[in-house]
Amino acid sequence: QTNKTSKYQVGSGNVETVSKRLKERLRVCVATCNRADYSKLAPIMFGIKSHPEIFDLEVVVLGSHLIDDYGNTFRMIEQDEFDIGSKLHTIVRGEDEAAMVESVGLALVKLPDVLQRLAPDILLVHGDRFDALALATAAALMNIRILHLEGGEVSGTIDDSIRHAISKLAHYHAVCTRSAERHLISMCEDHSHILLAGCPSYDKLLSAHQRDDYTDIIKSWLGDDVKEQDYIVALQHPVTTDIKNSIKIYELMLDALISFNKRTLVLFPNIDAGSKEMVRVMRRKGIEQHPNFRAVKHVPFDQFIQLVAHAGCMIGNSSCGVREAGAFGTPVINLGTRQTGRETGENVLHVRDADTHNKIYHALELQFGKRYPCSKIYGDGNAVQRILKFMQSIDLSEPLQKKFCFPPVKECISQDIDHILETQSALAVDLGGTNLRVAIVSMKGKVVKKYVQLNPKTFEERIELILTMCKQAMADAVHLNCRILGVGVSTGGRVNPQDGIVLHSTKLINEWSSVDIRTPLSSALHLPVWVDNDGNCAALAERKFGHGKGMENFVTIITGTGIGGGIIQHNELIHGSTFCAAELGHIVVSLEGPECMCGSHGCIEAYSSGLALQREAKRLHDEDLLLVEGMTVNNKEQVNAIHLINAAHLGNSKAESVLHTAGTALGLGIVNILHMINPSLVILSGVLAAHYENPVRQVISQRALLSAQGTKVMVSELEDPALLGAASMVLDYTTRRTY
């Protein structure tokens, strides 16, 4: 049957032998190491067996198939009526990494004689197990062509390294997904030697998971009282690169399952280092005797399909969860890092940092009993047909030397439990003239927690206090389950938001000009920082959370201690060439008006701000013209704008006149804005907004051009526009990135 070449030249042969083989059947050796890879190889083996005129099948069994502790699963191969040509006992018993290395060495000692005797044209190797690495190494050194199944995929643990190493040894590849194909191409594999086939196991499960007897299978494994979608399948393997943590996760999973109180089928872990310790954990917790659990070493694949397809949930780190289960829409909880990077359907919820019993329990609450759309990421049911055709196309006279190329590869994206359980949030800082406020603000605009302190007078004290308050908020955010994405700062004055610098401050905030806020905050907090004027922040708050949501063009006017605002044009905030745009409080409405804090005369702020109203209230009070019946002012109480407003409401004509002038001045300024930029909405914000709403509307109806008179005027419903606007800078920019 074999030529007489050197032991290590089996696959090459002389020209006469190669020519002869081209006319003969293709000798295909399928080597299977464990129950998992057999489920992928069996459909191909059946396909090969069904074409005896084309293929000659040889079967080699090694690894955990031949170990009693793992169910002696070679028997299911015999039950499928395959002739096993060679059984190789290659597992060195042990519970550490050294045992795996010794097992690879033992396989390498035994395999050459078998491969020399069988002299296959092609060796089929599946996946990422250490046994498969021994197979690929031996075949590559003996010049036997290797067809690798499921290469190019990405997951966690040492399996990744082994899978990619086998891919480099293999000559041909049958991959399951387009992404895996791209990964192999980026690893320099010849594109013409890569087949996008899909997963062979999908050929069986897509057609078989609707068996009529699935209820009998469920009862036989879980009990007569168990109903469809009311049980859990658990399958957790050790992570050989982090055995200690994987055992901890296994223990937490079992604790969560015990607490969840649902009937659960627990399969024993695979043979990797750490598996014995995991079994000890299972027995220490009494899982095998627990009434809610059924612990088994092996389930035949056709029955396992039914159990997974009709489960209320699957949990663990088996590739079956992130691959096959998606074909049924079964909800899956993937624990730890073993499958990190695998392409998954929306049915998979990742708990990568499975560090608490509660987190796993919460994931069970979220997933159990759900049904998802069926996913065909890993196959459409025609993989075997493609693979058989691909093998027939292999030119055995072609040299084994590989070709190389270097295209890019796109990474996959999936959901994560931490992003579900944590609230994406921002730290918002508002530098007012009196108070310094810091808040944790959620993505939906909820102020989760707020901190208020008097604003210090000096620069050094102010920066120190901001950092102290932010650090406190960040510490609290952990306990509040908030993930802080960045810091947004709202401050008075003219701001360069590109560099995070306050160029010129208002007189209300001393020592706050030419100040770089971004650098000290970002350096100390290790977070991105955004800074802008408080008026602009108010406009941003309205755009994200308020009346401006969905509006393309609008203006926000802040009526508080001063008058400010922001302009949104074509969905973007207008800053101006020197960051002086939207200084709306300094629109001049009178040539002979009162002096403004900016040094000019007749500005809106000089008429309509809280400070202007306070000035007029003091003047009237000094002239004994403020108080009317029903009003009192304590000697220790400072007269302010509220007293003026109350007096006007009680019929004080002098106070009414002041408010009328203030409202008219604000209305005239807004008319100028309407004529300049023609927004579709004006939003009045701040403590005085409600008092100015009607006067502004009246002035617009009297003074604006006809085409602008229909502009809507609304009072903001936001409680903290400065904080919300500061937060929106963070939330808008950081969440543009894809997780």
Residue 99 CA to residue 287 CA, distance in Å, equals 27
CB 642 within 8 A of CB 659: no
The answer as to whether 150 is a domain residue is yes
539 and 489 in one domain?
Answer: yes
The neighbouring-strand residues paired with 126 are: 149
Q: Answer whether 227's CB lies under 8 Å from 369's CB.
A: no
CA–CA distance, 509 with 454 (Å, rounded to integer): 12
| 566-575 own/partner pairs: CB under 8 Å, 24+ apart | 566/533, 566/535, 566/536, 566/537, 566/538, 566/539, 566/540, 567/539, 567/677, 567/679, 568/539, 568/542, 568/543, 568/679, 569/677, 569/679, 571/543, 573/532, 573/536, 573/539, 573/540, 573/543, 575/497, 575/536
- The confidence score (pLDDT) of residue 416 equals 63
The C-alpha atoms of residue 243 and residue 157 are separated, in whole angstroms, by: 10
- Is the same domain home to 45 and 169? yes
Angle between helical axes of 35-49 and 200-208 (0-180°, round to 10) = 90
- Domain assignment present for 163: yes
Residues β-bridged to residue 31: 60
Helix 243-260 and helix 357-367, axial crossing angle in degrees, nearest 10: 50
Q: Which of 158, 181, 199 is the last residue of a domain?
A: 199
Look at residue 19 in the predicted model and tell me its pLDDT.
43
Q: Is 537 annotated as a binding residue?
A: no
**Half-sphere exposure for 17 (CA within 13 Å, toward CB):** 14
The answer to whether residue 663 sits within a structural domain is yes
CA dihedral over 411, 415, 418, 422, signed as positive or negative: positive
Going by the DSSP 8-state scheme, the letter that residue 223 receives in this structure is -
State how many domains the chain has.
4
Strand partners, 182: none
Q: Decide the pairing of beta strands 563-569 and 572-573.
A: antiparallel
Q: Of 348, 367, 386, which residue is a domain's last?
A: 367
**Which is catalytic among the residues 534, 622, 720, 732?**
534
Where does a domain end: 154, 170, 199? Answer: 199
Residues 480 and 561 in one domain: no
Whether 605 and 701 share a structural domain: yes
Q: Is 604 helix (H, G, I), strand (E, B) or coil?
A: helix
Would 401 be classed as within a structural domain?
no
Mark the ranges of the chain whose per-residue pLDDT is less than 70. Answer: 1-23, 95, 156-157, 207-210, 402-422, 506-511, 734-739
Using the structure block, give the residue that is written with the tokens 């300094």.
586
Q: Say what angle helices 721-734 and 534-545 make with each other, to 10 degrees.
A: 70
Backbone angles phi, psi at 683, to 5 degrees: -110, 120
Per-residue buried b or exposed e for 71-109, using 16+ beta carbons within 10 Å of the residue's own CB:
bebbebbeeeebeeebebebbeeebebebbebbbebbbe
Please confirm, yes or no, whether 534 is among the known catalytic residues: yes
384 part of a folded domain: no
Residues 219, 188: one domain?
no
Domain residues for the domain of 331 are 206-367
pLDDT of residue 186: 83
CATH of the domain at 92: 3.40.50.2000
**Co-location of 541 and 553 in the same domain:** no
Q: Does one domain contain both 527 and 555?
A: no
- Where residue 509 sits, what CATH number does that domain have? 3.30.420.40
419 is in an annotated binding site: no
Name the pairing type of β-strands 435-442 and 447-454: antiparallel
Whether residue 470 is annotated as binding a ligand: the answer is no
**Per-residue confidence (pLDDT) for residue 5, from 0 to 100:** 36
Write out the E strands in 535-607: 554-559, 563-569, 572-573
Residue 55: beta bridge partners? 26
Tokens of residue 565, six digits:
């605002």
313 labeled binding residue: no
**In-domain check, residue 393:** no
Q: Is residue 73 located within the same domain as residue 94?
A: yes
* Same domain (yes/no): 92, 234: no
**Residue 395 included in any domain:** no
Question: Among residues 340, 306, 341, 297, which one has the least CA distance to residue 325?
Answer: 306
159 and 260, same domain (yes or no): no
Answer yes or no: is 65 within a domain: yes
Which three-class secondary structure state does DSSP give residue 377?
coil
Tokens coding 59: 């079967």
How many helices and strands in the chain, by DSSP H and E?
Answer: 25, 26
Same domain, 172 and 227: no
Give 405-460 as a DSSP string.
-----PPP---BHHHHHSEEEEEEEEE-SSEEEEEEEETTS-EEEEEEEEPPSSHH
Are 241 and 324 part of one and the same domain? yes
In Å, how far are 151, 404, 409 from 187, measured between CA atoms? 11, 8, 9
